């Protein structure tokens, strides 16, 4: 594993190694055991899109690994504008040991990996969010004791989270059902890739416009915001379109009795999910948020160690 750009690029063994190490690092952290696996190493963090969880989890995670993190926002680094991505990648490769980038264009992440000589971690693009899905899988494993054979239902916009959920679930042998309104489906190429992986893992990939079909008999229900960064002008229209896809008690009742609720946050209560669900006993959103740090530590340790 040279980079973390897409979960589709990883083997099942590589994904399992990330989750196993994340579990170990989380346990050591709770027990107060230091694990300075990246002592003396520096991670450059490029943020074209701001984020609470991504910045804090990577920064604290790098500190716990004994390394140093360098925050670079869009004013600090003119990625693809004032300076070519080729030059940026070459220069940063001389200074630091790894790059985490959270940006809009997926091609920016691919180009940094192509032109640089150090590991690149996809912190989020408009197309994918692999770090989030690794945290989701760790959370599901903690709650259910397994991944293979479970069913995850995603309800809402076919966005970067949904795309990476398709990759992640198909890779580990989880059934996944994605319900979106017409015109808001997941990327067709990613659906194809997930179905290719599902052939070897034995999982099912279901794409539908019916939220009840997706949620039926599910072990995990997943929601995300209907209005992603950069879509604020579409908010009123999107709320009308997506309201039938709200995760509420009625929809949740179609899943298994012990189903858990996930949300990558930030959440907008009363829109994609009601308060009684997201703040209820089956919600594990804060375990999920915490696990971002642990899986990212595992990824950094495996790539940069």
From 3, 136, 224, 238, the catalytic residue = 224
Catalytic residue among 64, 175, 264, 294: 264
Out of 102, 167, 238, 294, pick the active-site residue: 102
- Read off the tokens for 37: 């696996």
Label residue 5 exposed, middle or buried (CB < 10 Å: 0-12, 13-18, 19+).
buried
Ramachandran region, residue 200 (left: φ > 0; alpha: ψ -120 to 50; beta: rest): alpha
Reference 134, options 305, 296, 301, 300; nearest CA is: 296
Known catalytic residue: 269? no
Which of 53, 55, 97, 132 does the annotation list as catalytic?
132
> Distance (Å, rounded) from C-alpha 221 to C-alpha 240?
21
Q: Are 144 and 219 contacting, i.e. CB atoms less than 8 angstroms apart? A: yes
- Position of tokens 């002008």? 233
Beta-carbon contacts of 278 under 8 Å, excluding residues fewer than 6 positions away, are: 261, 263, 267, 269, 285
Task: Give me the catalytic one of 129, 167, 238, 294.
Answer: 129
Is there a catalytic annotation at residue 131? no
Active site residue 195: no
| Cβ neighbours, 10 Å, residue 24 | 14
Sheet containing 98-102, strands listed edge to edge, beginning at the edge strand earlier in sequence: 68-73, 42-47, 98-102, 120-124
- Residue 169 falls in the annotated catalytic set: no
Q: Which residues are catalytic?
A: 102, 129, 132, 224, 264, 292
């Amino acid at each position: 594993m040279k980079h973390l750009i897409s979960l589709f690029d990883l083997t099942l063994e590589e994904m399992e190694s990330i989750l196993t190490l994340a579990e170990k690092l989380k346990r050591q952290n709770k027990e107060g055991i230091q694990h300075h696996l990246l002592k003396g190493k520096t991670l450059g963090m490029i943020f074209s899109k701001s984020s609470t969880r991504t910045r804090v989890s990577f920064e604290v995670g790098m500190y716990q690994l004994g390394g140093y993190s360098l925050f670079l926002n869009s004013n600090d680094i003119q990625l693809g504008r004032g300076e070519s991505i080729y030059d940026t990648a070459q220069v940063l490769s001389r200074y630091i040991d790894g790059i985490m980038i959270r940006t809009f264009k997926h091609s920016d992440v691919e180009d940094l990996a192509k032109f640089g000589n150090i590991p690149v971690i996809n912190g989020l693009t408009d197309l994918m969010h692999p770090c989030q899905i690794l945290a989701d899988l760790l959370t599901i494993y903690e709650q259910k004791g397994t991944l293979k054979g479970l069913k995850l239902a995603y309800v809402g916009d076919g966005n970067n989270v949904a795309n990476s959920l398709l990759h992640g679930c198909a890779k580990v042998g989880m059934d996944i059902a994605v319900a979106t309104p017409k015109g808001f489906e997941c990327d067709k190429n990613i659906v194809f890739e997930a179905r290719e992986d599902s052939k070897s893992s034995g999982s099912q990939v279901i794409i539908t416009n019916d939220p009840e079909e997706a949620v039926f008999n599910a072990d995990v229900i997943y929601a995300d915001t209907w209005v992603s960064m950069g879509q604020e002008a579409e908010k009123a229209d999107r709320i009308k379109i997506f309201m039938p896809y709200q995760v509420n008690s009625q929809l949740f009742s179609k899943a298994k009795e012990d189903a858990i609720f996930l949300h990558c946050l930030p959440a907008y209560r009363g829109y994609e999910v009601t308060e009684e669900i997201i703040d209820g006993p089956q919600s594990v959103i804060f375990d999920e948020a915490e696990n971002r740090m642990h899986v990212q530590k595992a990824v950094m340790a495996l790539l940069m160690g």
